[in-house]
Structure 1
Amino acid sequence: MTSKLKKIPSYLRELLFMLIFRPLGAIGRHICPSLRGLWLISERGTDARDNGYRFYSYLVSEQPEVNARYVITPGSPDRPLIDKLGGAVNYRSPRHYIMYYAADALISTHVQPAAPDKVIYFRLAQHGLHARGRQVYLKHGIINNAMDWLHYGSLYIDLFVCGAKPEYDHVRSTFGFPEGVVRYLGLCRYDSLQEPGSGERMILLMPTWRGSGYPSGDAFYDTEYCRSFRSLLASPELARLLEESDTRLVFYPHIEMQRYIDCFRAGSDRITIADAGSHDVQQLLRDCALLITDYSSVFFDVAYLGKPIIYYQFDEEEFRSMHYRAGYFDCRRDGFGPVCTDEAQLLSALRGCIGSGMIPDEEYKRRAELFFPLRDRNNCRRTYEAVREITSDGR
């Protein structure tokens, strides 16, 4: 992108690109073989490690007749994964824009699938300015919080994939989408999530994000979030517990909090502060023997695997008022492990869980079985069949 274009306000720039590339895509899909029947897939545009990547991998290996391409930045650490599969499209390149307007299906873990700018294109779509392709929302996790902005009217989606039965029931009955849009197909990444892990005694500490608009690292350092996890990681009792049980702990903050990772210090050589560039979340979930989280939806993945979970919710009132309102899922009523509100409770629960062999209680196992009645390795196949169905009308 030239320096002159960068000076144009982003909304005006995208409108200009729409005027240029929309007709090129419309014409190109009729005369260019590489644009016919195109399925354009992405995640954030900078990565390949979630449902988008898993679905694309499935298409390349199992459905090679599908004309599928994957959008990702050239400098992404995940780019080699896509280069190995073939079909990479540089994010926000002219080719990306043309393919976006030519594609039969736009598929992503985020709303405004495969769009060059998700925020701007979300706003444009609300004014009827959207691409012609069928929009497929794979999501990047199970929905459990109140998310009004995902309701029909704010969001226009042709296929809304759910990964659990209660989630499907909730979204289908309350989000207002037309019949048939919301489907319980299973998350694509769950197909490979069931592959064997390392078998080691590893605890995964993986909290979700908080407001990221801190003016500096010092401002973040003073937050309750930072203080609470710094205290836990430095806890002598935690260090003793890990040593006594021959266990290690991996602390992996949410991708949006990785910028502050240098604020945290390990109080034991059995603790690893994990950065996103060198650790794969899917592999960490497979390898862990136990998960500690606050509100991150990854606890659904771990419950799916039948592993124990401890919730550490030291700031529940603030989180619910400032981030996500509680939805249909209540961790105390429906969750898959004990809810702890301070460090002492957490360490006590952790000691008990380790002492019982890191096996979930029968009640928590029962809840997980009811939450995930669909348990196989056919999630990608079902998603493929659903996308094929909604694109068969040739729109």
Structure 2
Amino acid sequence: NVYYADFDKILLEVCVGKNRLKTERTDIYTNIRHFGRTTKKGYSFKAVIPVDKINGRDKIYFEYTYGEAKVRTSITFLSFQSRLSNKLPESYWIFGNSILSYDEKKKQMIVEPLTFGSHLKHEIKMMYRVARHGRKRIGKKKTLEMLRLRASIKLNRGFGRKDNDSISGAPKNKKPVWITYDQLFKGGDNGQYFYEYMNKNVSDIETCYIINKDTKEYKELTRKYDRKTVLPFSTYKTRLKCLKSDMLFATRIDIRLYMGFTENDEIYVRDLFKADVVCLQHGLTIQKIAQYQNKFYDNTKHYFCVSPKEVENITKPIYGYTNDMITLTGAPRYDGLVGEPKKQILITPTWRRNVTAGTNEKGKQHEYSVNFKRTTYYQIYNSLINDKRLIAAAKKTGYRIVYLVHPILSPQADDFDKNDFVDIVPGVKANYEKMLKESALMVTDYSGIQFDFAYMRRPLVYFHPAELPPQYAEEDTGFGPICRTNDELIDELIKAMQSDCRLEDSYKDNINNFFPYDDQSACKRVYEAALKITNFS
């Protein structure tokens, strides 16, 4: 990272033995933001080192020239996917039939040939360091688990040279292991749909699903499928399976957390992770969210998309993806969206960060907020679902109103005032597929499930009160009218109920242009695309 520099005057080279290779400047997101403003911008680049350029005992280092200054720069290994760690001088990584380590004093990476002896020597030093360093950092019990993970993986993979090693230094499993997940406290999203498709239709790949053990999804899935493929979150078994996996289908960012590792313990095993990470998503990437969805964040190899609109967005340089890294497949959960609607209107706004309480630890819900009823968010939506004109129109036309509280805000569900014509449903307890299929019209602000609803070619009405700005920059999808006030929205809903919630042709055309598919074959397309990525076919 550089605070004050003319980036155009920086020459950065990677030195491999006697070879000096130029780096390629990129525009991938590296900004540091405070209070919504960028305060620091990193110098992002790409360096490609051909394997045939690396000799048995080469040194690799970065050197930049700025004006008359020529400086060898240090390397900081920040992320889980960095493989090495500055906190552990003995850390190393096996790639192909070579060993990579880092010399902090000389600011260089060292490559040496992989032999049984050299590998075993590195591992003994690493285990000793984990034992000493870990006791102070993560405690005795957790340290023993990290040592157990290392021993299990290393004994499974062996220490000698192998003919068919992958670049990660670990051979592929005889039976490929694929892993996915959703919100850990509630399944039912793209990960679960893909997991179920694979376990019903593909027997030569072991597909696993991570979920909290105390959820209803865990109980249901262990009854329907092989129990060993349903992985309880944050257990030794699950962490080991993730380190052994060949492909990880991420539906949310920061994969190490969903695998059950923390920033304190992942440094002891990061060199063991070998899976290709692909993005299955849980929403659509049409907003400006490069901060989280850029390629660097999880070292994502491939991205599965629903719409050409997404492809247009994430092929912008700031994300770091190219067209060959993207496949239009549709969302796996769309495969379940088949059925006739009832006379039901679904109101489902997304959440806002400033109305929740507590921290959102992985696998846990947000805490109850005692201040929620004082927020503008609560006042707007509580007034909406208790509006006298809305209730009268629903009674007259025979419609039922369902207010679906976002899963993150589910602890606040009982705060809303109740009436006889509106069902208030906490998202964490909802069957989304059933609720979407049974609804004739959806009201939302910016919720991602607007796209699920539009996929069924059903009408949407958007509610964008000025007092509740979006969390991300949003664009008009053209799927339905936008209302700015409560009265405008009520007028639109009354009109819709009186016309049996018919989708207008202009909005239907926009929806058809947005979605290239209207079938229930997304899971199959994801599977077929993943086969091509991994060369398992």
Pair 1:263-2:437 in alignment? no
Change (3 A) 1:117 1:65: closer
Distance 1:92 1:325 in 2: 34
Aligned match of 1:299: 450
Out of 239, 242, 264, the residue aligned to residue 391 of structure 2 is 239
Structure 1: unaligned runs, 5 residues or longer = 1-6
Pair 1:164-2:316 in alignment? no
Deviation at 1:263, TM superposition (A): 0.8
Aligned match of 2:326: 182
Out of 268, 287, 290, the residue aligned to residue 148 of structure 1 is 290
Aligned match of 2:403: 251
RCO comparison, higher one (Cα < 8 Å, 6+)? 1
Out of 360, 375, 392, the residue aligned to residue 223 of structure 1 is 375
Report the secondary structure of 1:154's partner residue: helix
Change (3 A) 1:237 1:94: same
Opposite residue 446 of structure 2, the aligned amino acid is Y
Opposite residue 48 of structure 1, the aligned amino acid is G
Q: Is the 8 A contact 1:251 1:272 kept in 2?
A: yes
Pair 1:21-2:149 in alignment? yes
Distance 2:211 2:136 in 1: 24
Pair 1:80-2:219 in alignment? yes
Deviation at 1:76, TM superposition (A): 0.8
Q: Is the 8 A contact 1:41 1:114 kept in 2?
A: no
Matches within 5 A, 1:42-191: 42-83=181-222, 84-86=224-226, 87-113=229-255, 115-116=257-258, 120=262, 131-149=273-291, 150-174=293-317, 175-191=319-335
Report the secondary structure of 2:296's partner residue: coil
Change (3 A) 1:243 1:377: same
TM-score, normalised to structure 1, is 0.85
Distance 2:506 2:484 in 1: 21
Report the secondary structure of 1:274's partner residue: strand
Q: Is the 8 A contact 2:239 2:261 kept in 1?
A: no
Distance 1:385 1:143 in 2: 22
Deviation at 1:273, TM superposition (A): 0.5
Opposite residue 149 of structure 2, the aligned amino acid is F
Report the secondary structure of 2:458's partner residue: coil
Of 168-177 and 290-299, more deviation after overlay is shown by 168-177
Matches within 5 A, 1:206-355: 206-211=348-353, 212-214=355-357, 217-267=369-419, 269-315=420-466, 318-320=468-470, 323-326=471-474, 330-331=475-476, 334-355=477-498
Which aligned runs of 4 or more in structure 1 are off by greater than 6 angstroms?
Answer: 7-16, 29-35, 121-125
Distance 1:24 1:361 in 2: 60
Distance 2:330 2:308 in 1: 9
> Alpha carbon RMSD of aligned pairs, Å?
3.2
Distance 1:373 1:32 in 2: 37
Opposite residue 246 of structure 1, the aligned amino acid is G
Aligned match of 1:386: 529
Deviation at 1:64, TM superposition (A): 1.9
Distance 2:203 2:173 in 1: 14
Q: Is the 8 A contact 1:112 1:121 kept in 2?
A: no
Distance 2:172 2:320 in 1: 37
Once the two structures are superposed, residues 255-308 of structure 1 have per-residue CA deviations (whole angstroms, 9 ceiling, x without a partner) of: 1111111111223x1210012354211211111000000110111111111111
Once the two structures are superposed, residues 65-110 of structure 1 have per-residue CA deviations (whole angstroms, 9 ceiling, x without a partner) of: 2111222222112112311122212111111010010000112311
Change (3 A) 1:223 1:201: same
Deviation at 1:393, TM superposition (A): 7.0
More helix by share: 1
Q: Which structure has the greater CA radius of gyration?
A: 2
Aligned length: 375
Deviation at 1:213, TM superposition (A): 3.8
Q: Is the 8 A contact 2:145 2:236 kept in 1?
A: no
Q: Is the 8 A contact 1:112 1:122 kept in 2?
A: no
Opposite residue 226 of structure 1, the aligned amino acid is Y
Of 28-37 and 341-350, more deviation after overlay is shown by 28-37
More strand by share: 2
Distance 2:349 2:239 in 1: 35
Distance 1:38 1:356 in 2: 51
Change (3 A) 1:91 1:217: closer
Change (3 A) 1:38 1:232: same
Distance 2:236 2:150 in 1: 11
Of 20-29 and 47-56, more deviation after overlay is shown by 20-29
TM-score, normalised to structure 2, is 0.64
- The share of aligned pairs that are identical, in percent, is 23
Change (3 A) 1:12 1:250: farther
Once the two structures are superposed, residues 330-350 of structure 1 have per-residue CA deviations (whole angstroms, 9 ceiling, x without a partner) of: 22xx32111111110100111
Deviation at 1:148, TM superposition (A): 1.8
Once the two structures are superposed, residues 178-237 of structure 1 have per-residue CA deviations (whole angstroms, 9 ceiling, x without a partner) of: 4422221111111111x214x310000001011154376331111111001111111111
Distance 1:153 1:104 in 2: 19
Deviation at 1:36, TM superposition (A): 4.3
Report the secondary structure of 1:373's partner residue: coil
Distance 2:144 2:372 in 1: 38
Change (3 A) 1:254 1:227: same
Distance 1:123 1:143 in 2: 31
Q: Is the 8 A contact 1:206 1:254 kept in 2?
A: yes
Opposite residue 430 of structure 2, the aligned amino acid is H
